[in-house]
Amino acid sequence: MSRHVLVAIDDSEASRAAFEYALEEYPNATITALHVFDSTHPHVYADATGGSADRYEEYERANRERGSELLADATECAAERGQGVRTALEDGRPTSAILEYAADRDVDHLVLGSHDRSVSSRVSFGTVCQRVAKRASVPVTVV
């Protein structure tokens, strides 16, 4: 039985389903909802004029706010079921951030939502879900 379950949260229906699955399947575990935003993404602060530090700060602030909203929604969803949830907001590359967070906090199960993507996209770039599942040292459930 899992004691600490980490669920990666973004603004997709798949991650919402994964979170609800974790609440239902692991009612006695500590559940942590983790949102990761990647401030190193190449389009973060580049614009038609070449980008600026102001655009970067604006992007980071907006992503932190959106992440906080998603985590507040997760907290509310858990509370509606009479459960608690831990939340965490991390900046970094999603695959690495999820795996590092799990390793540093003694997580023993990961639950991830699988996004619907075209076959060519998955073959060319892979997905965070696929990369996490391949590199994780704990069981991974993909919803």
> What confidence tens digit (pLDDT) does each residue in 18-49 have?
999 999 999 999 999 999 988 765 554 455 45
pLDDT in tens, 49-67: 555 566 777 778 888 999 9
Q: pTM higher than 0.75 for the full model?
A: yes
CA separation, residue 11 to residues 6, 29, 137 (Å): 16, 24, 26
Residue 50 burial (CB count, 10 A): 8
Residue 127 burial (C-beta neighbours within 10 Å; 0-12, 13-18, 19+): middle
Averaged pLDDT, 94-122: 83
% of residues, the chain, pLDDT over 70: 82
**pLDDT single digits (tens) 69-83:** 999 999 999 999 999
Given CA atoms 77, 61, 90, 121 in this order, what sign does their dihedral have? positive
| Helix or strand run (H / E) with residue 94 | helix 94-104
